[in-house]
Amino acid sequence: MATAAKERLASLASHLASPSAPKPDWPRALEALKSAFPASQLSLDLATREKHGQSWGSLLPPSPPAAVVHALSAADVVAVVRIATSCGIVLIPTGGRTALEGQFTATCCSPLAEDSWNGVVKGKTKPGDRPTIHVSLSRMNQVLALHERDFQAIVQPGIGWQGLNAYLAERGVKLAFPVDPAPGSEFGGMAGVAGSGTNAEWIQSMEVVLMDGSVIRTKGSNRARTLGIITELTVRLAPVVPLKVALTSFPTVQQAVSTVVSMLSSGLTPTSLELLDGTSIKGLNLAKLLPDALPEEPTVLMRFSNPSEAVNQASLETVKAIVQREGGRELRIAKDDQENEELWKARKSQYWSQQLLIGEGCRTLITDVCVPISRLAEFVDRSEVLVHDSGCIAPIVAHIGDGNVHRAILWRGKEGETTRPREVETLAKKLVELALELEGTCAGEHGIGLTKRKYLKAELGDSTLALMRTVKRALDPLNLLNPDKVLFPEGEEQWA
């Protein structure tokens, strides 16, 4: 949308009165929850709430909700939405709880369920704080329909990509869902953060409960994405065809990137194209995940899936020639399905294996920038200097075919530490600044949540942010659905 139009819309919106949420009434909400849900669907004990308030991939301190409702149907979600809005309680949907950027962290106080909520509690809460209910969609984990000839499945939000693929394999269906973020992530959460590739291409339609209690259906994935609670999704499936994994390494990252660009320019269509730098490979070697150690240098790992082995083989012959021309090592092609699996499993374990580079107490901040492929080599080179100057260790694992580069900044944490050392924060910020300078983004696939809000002014500008606020206000006028994510509370902005 043109900037002038965005500004006009934003200024119009700022004149619209926004209704305010009722004063939070926790005792009434609790009573309503208890009468709407059996004990098996309502967790009020501290242990469950504490576990629910923490993402194991994030360093943010745990923020236990006041209650967890385990929804079994869209009707349950509508019921909890109505209780939250009528009692002024914040509502946060959750899935596998693997989000990295604080996407389901409660930003306001959640009193113990057994405590009464008397507004502001001295020393514990501040004016405006509200208790939070988590509505977990994880028990809504069924495949509702499978349309093999349309390459589609209709799923509930609590099933994950692994669960759906197991379901298809058990029935001998030669289709699969090919996008694979963290093990344990579920479709509702994947759509909620727009996990890699997922929203753009692989989710085709959704059923969503809005904060006025109405249930809508979207055709297309990105409408009303995180502004409602997803209760059903139609996902696209890919045929299962012969697959080949191959890898090779190079003396420099430049050569690896140049090889990838040549592969894509020559029309090759690998289904995955990953870059691990020498430091990442050192972690894999330390973990001894493969029978033989790999050379500790920039490595490109690729997967080809084509209708016949011959097409895979022909693609790999083209890759071989490119690799040779670019000065890479001999292309190692997995000899059978077992080796395909071994190599890919090692790649998927990189998050854990890199911890061995630091050892006991290793903490990780995974950065998630994305740059145009033409600027990738420049990003990798210049970020190498930033990492060197920072004194940090920050191995690369990149979805290089998409320009999405994760540098995992590692350090040894202290017991109970919930903040990041200054040099880690500074390096993360410099990586984002570099990506923006190269016309990229701070968030390739992990979303914004709480931790990347500070970069959005530089990336999007004021008028886009104002437009986003307008949309949020329109769909969640009481600001009770997962507030403070993506956008700062008004007047509390802290830009990086």
Ligand X SMILES: Cc1cc2nc3c(=O)[nH]c(=O)nc-3n(C[C@H](O)[C@H](O)[C@H](O)COP(=O)(O)OP(=O)(O)OC[C@H]3O[C@@H](n4cnc5c(N)ncnc54)[C@H](O)[C@@H]3O)c2cc1C
Binding site for ligand X (CB under 6 A): 55, 57, 92-100, 103-104, 137, 157, 181-182, 185-186, 188-190, 192-193, 195-196, 226, 229-230, 351, 445-446, 482
Q: What's the rounded Cα separation, in Å, for the pair 87 and 320?
A: 64
Complex with ligand X: residue 6 or 236, whichever CB lies closer: 236
Complex with ligand X: residue 22 or 57, whichever CB lies closer: 57
Residue 120 beta carbon to ligand X: minimum distance, rounded to whole angstroms? 26
Residue 211 beta carbon to ligand X: minimum distance, rounded to whole angstroms? 12
Complex with ligand X: residue 163 or 181, whichever CB lies closer: 181
Complex with ligand X: residue 10 or 100, whichever CB lies closer: 100
| 3-class secondary-structure state, position 245 | strand
Residue 171 beta carbon to ligand X: minimum distance, rounded to whole angstroms? 24
Residue 206 beta carbon to ligand X: minimum distance, rounded to whole angstroms? 8
Residue 63 beta carbon to ligand X: minimum distance, rounded to whole angstroms? 13
Residue 287 beta carbon to ligand X: minimum distance, rounded to whole angstroms? 14
Residue 400 beta carbon to ligand X: minimum distance, rounded to whole angstroms? 13
Closest CA to 10 of 456, 486, 472, 484: 472
Cβ contacts of 489 within 8 Å, gap of 6 or more: 483
Q: What is the dihedral of CA 178, 182, 183, 186, to 10 degrees?
A: -70
Residue for token digits 């890699």?
196
Complex with ligand X: residue 185 or 248, whichever CB lies closer: 185
Complex with ligand X: residue 96 or 111, whichever CB lies closer: 96
| Token pair of 181 as six digits | 């973020």
Cα atoms found within 13 Å of the Cα of residue 154, Cβ hemisphere only: 10
Cα atoms found within 13 Å of the Cα of residue 259, Cβ hemisphere only: 33
Q: What's the rounded Cα separation, in Å, for the pair 312 and 310?
A: 5
Q: What's the rounded Cα separation, in Å, for the pair 314 and 304?
A: 11
Cα atoms found within 13 Å of the Cα of residue 338, Cβ hemisphere only: 2
Closest CA to 278 of 350, 359, 343: 350
Residue for token digits 């596998």?
96
Residue 394 beta carbon to ligand X: minimum distance, rounded to whole angstroms? 16
Residue 446 beta carbon to ligand X: minimum distance, rounded to whole angstroms? 5
Q: What's the rounded Cα separation, in Å, for the pair 338 and 373?
A: 32
Complex with ligand X: residue 85 or 98, whichever CB lies closer: 98
276 DSSP β-pair partners:
299, 397
Residue nearest to ligand X (CB): 189
Q: Contact at 8 Å (CB) between 376 and 403?
A: yes
Helix or strand (DSSP H, E) at 92: strand 90-94
Q: What's the rounded Cα separation, in Å, for the pair 421 and 69?
A: 36
Q: Contact at 8 Å (CB) between 209 and 229?
A: yes
Cβ contacts of 184 within 8 Å, gap of 6 or more: 96, 97, 98, 160, 162
Q: What's the rounded Cα separation, in Å, for the pair 364 and 408?
A: 6
| 3-class secondary-structure state, position 35 | helix
Complex with ligand X: residue 192 or 440, whichever CB lies closer: 192
Q: Contact at 8 Å (CB) between 449 and 92?
A: no
Amino acid letter for position 181: P
Complex with ligand X: residue 65 or 157, whichever CB lies closer: 157
Complex with ligand X: residue 6 or 347, whichever CB lies closer: 347
Number of Cβ within a 10 Å radius of residue 159:
26
Residue 127 beta carbon to ligand X: minimum distance, rounded to whole angstroms? 25
Residue 101 beta carbon to ligand X: minimum distance, rounded to whole angstroms? 8
Complex with ligand X: residue 12 or 352, whichever CB lies closer: 352
